[in-house]
Structure 1
Amino acid sequence: MSVVKKKKHVSKKNKKAWRKHCDIRDVEDFLEEQRLDERLGKFDTKPDSELFVVDTQGDDDDKAKDIKSETSEKVVKPTSAKERKRQQLSKTPKCYEILIPASKVPDPNAKRNHVNPVGSRPTALSKITEKKREEKGKFEKKVEVARKNRKIALDKKRKAKSIRNNFDLDLWGQDLPEAKGIPETLCDDFIPPGALLHNVLPQQRLRPKPPPPKTIVTRSAVDTPHPGISYNPSFKEHQELLQEVVQHEQKMMKREAHLLRVTTGMFSKVTPEQKENQWREEMSVGLPQPHNPANDPSDNETDNEYKAVNPPVKNKKKDHKARRKQKEQLEEKERLKRKKIEKKKISDLYRLRQLQSTISKTETRQAEDRTKRVTKRKIEEATALPALNAHKTPKKEPEYVDPEQLSGDLRTIKSTTNLLRDRFESLQRRGALAASKLMMKKKRKLKSYFKAGHKVTEKDIERYVTRSAGKK
């Protein structure tokens, strides 16, 4: 016996409750079928050829083969590819099949206005520009260029079709190893040309080596040292080297003095007491000062009289005589000023020749300086180091040997410079190596701690205390 469920009575006051508790599946199915009929068409309107298929094969395989052979005899196949292509012209290409509407739903707006695409209709501005181009003759020029290009293409075709009378070209010569830069000594039938080309020396390869930079070519290979550095120099050469070293040291001292003057020397030195007093005065600005009886005004000064802080100012006007004197002073001052200007004009007239000569001298001097700068810049550009990195090349400082250390024998002389460092800096100065910067790592100060324990003796404590005191 089937149990009949009691029907629930639910409030359908709101739209949300109506949707939740109403069964509308039958309406949705009906609408879905209607949309499907609109897309694919109704069965009543479709012909029988679209709905039904006639089975001509049957159940047996032999019958199917016979039917296939009969149908194949009836179908006339195209004889050539040209006819096949012509038959395919009427069909729509596969790339445009996606654009064909598959739905049978008609257009809701049957009388739709046709809109021309952008650029199809000429505007007023485009008409003006085309007219200007036609007046300038740009279209004629374009036609001439196209005609020339067609002529060049035709000439190329004719040359390609022309029969060669000379048959000295070796078609397989380009694939030979000798043509790729591999010498005959390395040629072998069992080794591929890629491996042969890999083993060829760089000088024998087909690709030319690029020339070295101009800066390295124009510079001397190694700078010759000063003859005064020799272990047995002459007196004159030694004195010349000494003068160079003195000039270099004076220059460095002057630079150090300048840096000291513009950094530390700019600030005045103050003693600790003055600094303390200055700080106290700055910090106590605006604070109430302590009472000092010495600063109190005396009884004689006050004398029980009232004195205002800002006494009234009397409006004492000048008389006619004072005003006349003031006016005469101003006129005399202006007259002297005018007289001085006139005198300077006359003196400038007499100094015209001198001014002209000084101007010509300055112009000639400036022209000479300009030529010197240009020549110097050209020499520097020709002999400049290549910018291999951001660091600057180290400047060579003059070497000097004290006369007391000089000796005429190589056995007793002591070397003052490091040969490896000197050659390394020489390579950097000549641009063969990139300039490097000396990086010094700071040693970290490690703090030591004393770990107390039951195994620590008094000797260990004394040893730790002495070690820490020695470090300090």
Structure 2
Amino acid sequence: MDPTEFGAGSAPVELSHAVRESGTRDLWVPTLEESFPDGLESVKPVVVKKPATDHPRDIIDAPAVSLPPEGASYNPPVQAHNHLVLEAYAVEKRKQEELHNLASYREKIELAKENVGSAEDVPVGMTVDDGASDDEDEDEGELKGDAVVQKRKTAKKTKQQRARMMKLRAERQALAEKALRKRLLHGINSVKSLRSQIDKTAKVQVEARLARQLTTRLRLCKGLAGRKFGKHVVPESRVDVQTGEELSENLRSLKPEGNLFRDRFVSLQQRALVEPRVPVLPSKRRAKPILYEKHPYKRFQ
């Protein structure tokens, strides 16, 4: 067939589907399978998406190795050393107050346990009064029981009384509807002021929320020291300070202070790289180990 004579005949010639779709499909693009509903959407478990929240680790901007204060030097200035001593004193005073509050709370608990009565069939912590008041109530009831209480009979209302009551009820209902209509009209007139008041309240709430978020973010930038996560509290950096008598005059008589391993571990906890934990101290063995002599020692050669 001569390609120059294509379409010269009387028969209609149309392009095929492959020719029409040529150039529109990319072989390297993965094909997406169409999913058709099968009626089991309500039975299948719903996949919960993870909320897009910032991790504290991404917000914290505390240095890995914090520089010691100026007052912790081997030959510090007097003012810096005094400031560091006062800071250490404030920390120790706060710890002592916490211990004192805990001890007083435990004493109150012990006193409450001692004051609990030992009565039978009474739950712990419940106080039961004496039976004298019950006897007095019974005596009063017996005295009142002697007098016969006469019931007051209600007279039957007449037609005029019932009509008067219905009229009063209708008037009260009309007055209530009138007052309600008046309040509605007053509310319609004050829609603009109410809308502006609502907008102001919403704006104040948004500003307060943003201020709280900014304060929390700025606090997180310094680390998690002193904050409680779960059962434990993130420890704060320990203040190592020497008194005036312990200060050395030269580097030869300098005494090493602090613990580098402890400082690094506390820094990891403050930067949310390690979960806060409580140091586990080795416990002493309560039961004495029992030693047994085996029988083969008698057949020693």
State whether TM-score is above 0.5: no
TM-score range, shorter-chain basis? Answer: 0.3 to 0.5
Name the structure, 1 or 2, with higher relative contact order (CA <8 Å, separation 6+): 2
TM-score, with normalisation over the residues of structure 2?
Answer: 0.42
Pick the structure with greater CA Rg. Answer: 1
